Amino acid sequence: MSFIETAAAAGYQAFQGLRATPSVRGRTVVVVGASAGIGRSVALEYARGGAEVLLCARRAAELEQVTGECLAAGAAAAHWVAGVLHEAAAAAGYQAFQGLRATPSVRGRTVVVVGASAGIGRSVALEYARGGAEVLLCARRAAELERVAGECVAAGAAAAHWVAGDVTRLETQLAVRERAGRSWDRVDYLVLCAGALSVQAVVDLWGMRQGGGGALRAADGAAAERADRALRRIMDVNVHAPAALAALLLPLVAAGRGVIVVVASAAGLMAAPTRALYSASKHAVAAYFDALRMEVRGLGVAVTVAYPGSVDTALRHSAVDAPAAAAAPPPAASAGPRMAPAECARRIVRAAALRRRALVTPWPYAAAALLHAVAPALVDALAERKYRQRA
């Protein structure tokens, strides 16, 4: 390089050095490979500048440690996602993109929550209450419903009304519509959370298993009757009730160009052993509301289908096919970590406010759903390992 070229290069570098580094305070930053080395140092540098960081790498323990270091260094907030690098990067990028979109306010909005006495439904009601919405709650148990209504008022709800009754019965459905129409001229959000579970393998539900060998016996009349009752009940709760309530309340939702939210399940995307009835009902309700979305789009109504994975609720106690107490222990929860219902509710409320088509959460279930599209046998094998069937 000639003297003139060297001088020009040095001058350029000096000029660059004179330029002030733009502030990163309040910026959102994704750092992939953040558990050590350059990635960790980059994360800390952004943290010292006051940015909000989302970190991902394979090793969860180290990643959690770096997240703490970032908070101590001055990060506005620090989140992390652990997993195989390309999966973590994809999840981190998606979460960061969603994080850039502000959640619209629900203050003063009118919200109907069905299945609001416990679990995800209760948490959804409280999430709307904290945002200043006016809520109408429905579930079977009046005492629990009254308690949740009080919690909503204490949390900041503009008002909290409730209707107690079996949501599979027409009189309850009509009562919800009547109360909503009497209180409001529109419904901004209709959230359908009521649900029931199944926990038995098909051969057990129909009483076909006969001890040690692989041979099966024919189902007798009593077992067939029990199976039929279980199938009808789960379809009533998980499919017929939300479909009917959505239709009955549709004019009020359309009046406010609102959002219908149905809480399906990851089992509505990927079936699992011992969950045959449950998976069938969740596939059915998801398909129904996918079709409804296309039909009501012209009315200005959005439809959001939520597909949560394992959530830490008492849903298993609602099993329509639970074995008799004398014959078997209570149905066991699936293996693995479970999402807190409050976090699940926060994501559902956000997805509805953004009028999103679907929500699959947490992110490993979203990754599994994508994998299921290209390698279903692999996902089946993983599901079999998760839900170990008991002989």
The amino acid occupying position 387 is: Y
**The tokens 């960081």 sit on which residue?**
53
Euclidean distance between CA atoms 243 and 265, whole angstroms: 16
pLDDT band at 323 (very low <50, low <70, confident <90, very high): confident
The pLDDT > 90 percentage for the chain reads 51
- For residue 326, name the pLDDT band (cuts at 50, 70, 90): very low
CA distance 223 to 209: 12
Q: What is each CA distance from 30 to 53, 91, 93, in whole angstroms?
A: 6, 10, 7
- DSSP 8-state code for residue 359: E
Gyration radius (Cα) of the chain, Å: 25
pLDDT tens profile 275-302? 899 999 999 999 999 999 999 999 999 9
pLDDT in the model for residue 361: 87
| Pairwise pLDDT comparison (78 vs 262), residue with the higher score | 262
* 278 tagged catalytic: yes
Between CA 112 and CA 44 the distance in angstroms is: 44
- The pLDDT assigned to 101 comes to 57
pLDDT in tens, 87-105: 555 555 555 555 555 678 8
Q: How many helices (H) and strands (E) in the chain?
A: 14, 10
pLDDT tens digits for range 17-54: 556 678 888 788 889 889 899 999 999 999 999 888 88
DSSP symbol at 339? B
Selecting among 128, 189, 278, 365, the annotated active-site residue is 278
- Phi, psi angle pair for 291, to nearest 5°: -70, -40
Confidence of residue 182 (pLDDT cuts 50, 70, 90): very high
Assess whether pLDDT exceeds 50 at residue 130.
Answer: yes
Kindly list the structural domains of the chain, giving each domain's residue range(s) and its CATH number in brackets, ordered by start.
Answer: 23-100 (3.40.50.720), 110-386 (3.40.50.720)
pLDDT at 338: 77
- Partners of 306 in beta bridges: 263, 359
Give the CA distances from residue 236 to residues 167, 265, 278, 285, in Å, rounded to whole numbers and listed in that order: 9, 16, 12, 11
**Rounded distance between C-alpha atoms, residue 391 and residue 210, angstroms:** 10
